[in-house]
Structure 1
Amino acid sequence: MSGSKSGFTFFMLTVPTLLLYLFFFVLPVGMGIYYSTTNWDGFSLSYKFVGLKNYIDLLKDSRFLESMQFTFLYMALVVVVKLFLALLLAFFLSGSIKLRGLIRSVYFFPAVLSTITVGLIFNRIFYSVFPAIGTALGIDWLSQNLLGSKSTAIYGVAFTNIWQGVAVPMVIFIAGLASVPKDLKEAAVIDGATPVQRFFSVTLPFLIPMLTVNVVLAIKGALTVFDYIVAMTDGGPGHATESIGFLIYRHGMNEMKFGYGTAEAIYVFLLIGIISFIQIKLLSRKEVGQQ
């Protein structure tokens, strides 16, 4: 009897969390899937069911395809550079250096700033500061506003994201480096392993769980980038930096194509899920204890 009462009590304790999950996740996703099959403009009380028309039209929409191309290129650039720098900083800040705690705090400071604030600040830096420095030093490429050219605007946005976003994966990597057993590292040194061999044979397997988390977070953040685009380029010049997240906003809010924009959001939702599933499966095979 006591066992059944305990089970009922534990179940009742999960009810608030379950209701919140259903109300704030399951219900919105279900409504989004439904509205993606309509031509609703987001405001009218009447709309028509169009089935899979929005999904089919998206595959023929050059603006959507260009947005996906930009988003994938941006994702590849940000994820690779951000995680590489985060790992280097984690190694540096895990060593025996003076004022290590203060230096860690300094590197982590950008992470607590608003992305909109950072975007606006770097917008002014790219517009005024860098061109002035480039002109003074006689460097042609630096004297131009990176955000003003279709071919270079992506690098300006990516640089800003990397500058602010490297802190969180760095902290996660630092925690992972602390979990590597010292006796294994000492044994590798005694066996004559080079630093590169020690990293791939000893350190990396213990970092795989942290690497998995960082990759998922970095991919998700890159695929849904929005704040930096709004603050720095507004999707321009032209549509050069119109990310898929920004395009969804424009279709839904500016162009009154809520159903169409929701279909785009469903595509991104599925895309993030598929990419995350694949990379988790691939990286989990490299974890300690896995074959």
Structure 2
Amino acid sequence: MDKKKKKISERTRTLFLFTLPSVVMYTVFFTVTMAIGIYYSFTDWNGISASYKIIGIGNYIKALMDRKFQAALKFNFVYTFLFVLILIVISLLVAICLNNLTKTSTIFRSIYFLPAVLSMVTVGLIWNELFYRALPVIGKALNIGWLSNSLLGNKTTAMFGILIVNLWQGCSIPIVLFLAGLQSVPSELYEAATIDGANRWDKFKSITFPFLIPVLNMVIITQVKAGLTIFDYIMAMTNGGPGGATQAVGILIYNQAMKGNAYSQSVAESMILFVIVAIVAAVTLKMTKNKQVGD
């Protein structure tokens, strides 16, 4: 008995040592820095001065009343809604097609996952050149008016240009996740449904979808966060332009902190964005927790 307890103790110690680096890094780079950020959000620190004073929730009130912040939030909400909706539809359809492939499926999976290994800044810079140089040439050659000029140079279409790039790269991981979820569905259920006369939609609604809910939760939460905190693509492609049409909250926070010396207010805006993401995640889990398999 003592030997068994000793083995368990050694195993626990070993597992703890393996997880220790991750715990330390998470504590230092997330928990501690977030606590420091929350503290500075209640001050008037400009990010440079050695002296500052506590002003309470003044930065939060100022941020919520700021029209630029309101406009940036509106952009983020609209962008995130379109991004998550289109991404789920595309990723699920591609995953279903890949799941039905019996040959060359590995090759196609690799092709669809390839964009995920590229950095967002690199992707943004490459597509920026395509939008400004390659696509207008094609548009003029084919006499397509809306394609003859860069999508990023027009206030109306700039957001859609960034959305296209984000979807091109952002669909990679959700496709893999949905594919894993589809492959977890027992084939016996489909066979039984076929015998009962169920069509494809009935099978998807009653069998496939409940198995995909845990994956769907993960995709929605991660991609909502990605949409609300979008920064890299906009910085690389438009820098918030033209005329502020793509001024997301992340770009606004960066400009206020780095260029406007409004560090404490930018931290307050970051905390507001964090709370919004947390609320969306909680609501998503609440709405779907009773609809998955086994509930």
Interval of TM-score (by shorter of Structure 1 and Structure 2): over 0.9
Q: CA deviation at 1:23?
A: 2.2
Query: 1:1-291 to 2 correspondence within 5 Å?
Result: 10=12, 13=17, 18-290=23-295
Q: Which runs of 5+ in 1 are unaligned?
A: none
CA RMSD in angstroms, aligned pairs only:
2.0
Q: CA deviation at 1:8?
A: 10
Q: CA deviation at 1:107?
A: 1.1
| TM superposition score normalised by structure 1 | 0.94
Q: CA deviation at 1:28?
A: 0.9
Per-residue CA distance 1:91-137 (angstroms, 9 max, x = gap): 11111343111111111111111110110111111112121111111
- 1:135 and 1:5, CA in 2 relative to 1: closer, same or farther beyond 3 A? closer
Q: Which amino acid aligns with 2:55?
A: V
Determine helix, strand or coil for the equivalent of 2:83. helix
Determine helix, strand or coil for the equivalent of 2:47. coil
Per-residue CA distance 1:191-217 (angstroms, 9 max, x = gap): 111111110111000000111111111
The 1-side partners of 2:152 and 2:272 are apart by: 28
Q: CA deviation at 1:16?
A: 5.7
- 1:51 and 1:124, CA in 2 relative to 1: closer, same or farther beyond 3 A? same
The 2-side partners of 1:113 and 1:181 are apart by: 34
Q: How many residues in Structure 1 have an aligned counterpart in Structure 2? A: 290
Per-residue CA distance 1:178-236 (angstroms, 9 max, x = gap): 10010001111111111111101110000001111111111011111110001100000
16-25 vs 178-187, which deviates more?
16-25
The 1-side partners of 2:20 and 2:101 are apart by: 48
Q: Which amino acid aligns with 2:194?
A: V
| TM superposition score normalised by structure 2 | 0.93
Per-residue CA distance 1:249-273 (angstroms, 9 max, x = gap): 1111111111010000000111111
The 2-side partners of 1:164 and 1:22 are apart by: 30
- 1:210 and 1:8, CA in 2 relative to 1: closer, same or farther beyond 3 A? same
Q: Which runs of 5+ in 2 are unaligned?
A: none
- 1:58 and 1:4, CA in 2 relative to 1: closer, same or farther beyond 3 A? farther
